[in-house]
Structure 1
Amino acid sequence: MFEVLVYMFENYFEADIRPDQSTLAKELFAAGFDSDDINHAFDWFSALEAMTAKELAGTELNTSGFRIFSEPETTKISSESLSFIMFLEQAKVLTATERELIVDRALALPQPVIGLDETRWIVLMALWKQGKTKDYLFVEDAVFGDAHPTLH
């Protein structure tokens, strides 16, 4: 299912092409994706959109607390992924509400373990829905880019 989400994002949503769900399902099926995976991807993305709409409506979490991840979260989401999420929050790329949205969407994926690559895509999709991809891509490039700064 995750491959369907990435394919949809790269080929449709990022380019702001929004075919209706029936047309998109037919195109995804023609591209070789399983209909169950397509339907699960639609459900996952619909939940992302609904949660993003709530976040944009101003239901920001209190950021003065301390977040402790539960056992199901630490079992499913890799330690590298959780560290990356915390890094983005500390760098002010993510808010506490966005962090929770990303954790929720990671837990909703069917894979038994969510690695760093999946987490990076989830963050990108979540921030894209809010028009905040430039902030994320700057940090992503700085952390994971091939070019390293020259120290003088």
Structure 2
Amino acid sequence: MIDILVYLFENYQPDACPAPTVLAKKLTAAGFEADDITAALAWLEGLTGGEQADMSVPAEGSLRVFADVELERLSVEARGFLAFLEQNGAIDAQLRETIIERAMALPGNSVSVDRLKVIVLAVIWRRQVAIDALILEELLAEDEDDDESSSDDTQHILLN
């Protein structure tokens, strides 16, 4: 599923992405498996539905406390990377919450930094958020210290 998100980021503008049925056909033609396509489209649909417009703006100096399930699924490095993005103005609190929600919606037990970077790219791509070139470069960079189970193919795609 992560490979599909990377493929969409690399090949489509968010406002020019085809309808889900057309996109599913294009992804099948590109060689992706039907189960992965279904999962990726459902994940993207969750992103579209998860606007969280009613979230109040946190008070100045407030701190995000992660729930136990988030602590279990998001690696220390992934949580640190989220803090880095927010502290550098790349994302705001509302976008951070959307990213966390989408990370928790991924299948699997753990979300590594590399997987989180793809999630961040997908969220900013879908929401058409302007992002600094240096932050974008960091999102596209491979994390050499990440020993999680992200595939070499995904890392290769991210670097090209």
TM class by shorter chain equals 0.7 to 0.9
Superposition TM-score, scaled by structure 2 size: 0.74
Amino acid at match of 2:24: A
Q: Which residue of 1 aligns with 2:22?
A: 23
Match of 2:32 in 1: 33
> Is 1:116 the equivalent of 2:113?
yes
- Counterpart of 1:150 in structure 2 is none
Percent identity at matched positions? 35
Given the superposition, is the C-alpha separation of residues 48 and 63 from structure 1 closer, same or farther in structure 2, using an over 3 Å criterion?
farther
The alignment partner of 1:87 has SS state of: helix
Give the equivalent residue in structure 2 for 1:8.
8
Distance 1:144 1:41, change over 3 A: closer
Give 1:123 deviation, angstroms.
1.2
Q: Gaps spanning 5+ residues in structure 2: where?
A: 142-160
Cα contact 2:43–2:105 (8 A) shared by 1: yes
User: Matched residues in 2 for 1:144 and 1:28: separation?
Assistant: 22
Q: Quick one: distance in 1 between partners of 2:67 and 2:4?
A: 28
- RMSD of the alignment, in Å? 2.4
Give 2:134's match in structure 1, choosing from 122, 132, 138.
138
Gaps of at least 5 residues in structure 1 are: 146-152
Higher Rg: 1
The CA deviation string for residues 76-103 of structure 1, in whole angstroms up to 9 with x for no partner, is: 1111111000111111221111111100
Kindly state the Cα deviation for residue 139 of structure 1 after the two structures are TM-superposed.
2.5
Q: TM-score, normalised by structure 1?
A: 0.78
Q: Deviations over 1:92-128 (max 9, x none)?
A: 2211111111000001011221111111121122223
For the residue of structure 1 that corresponds to 2:108, the secondary structure is coil
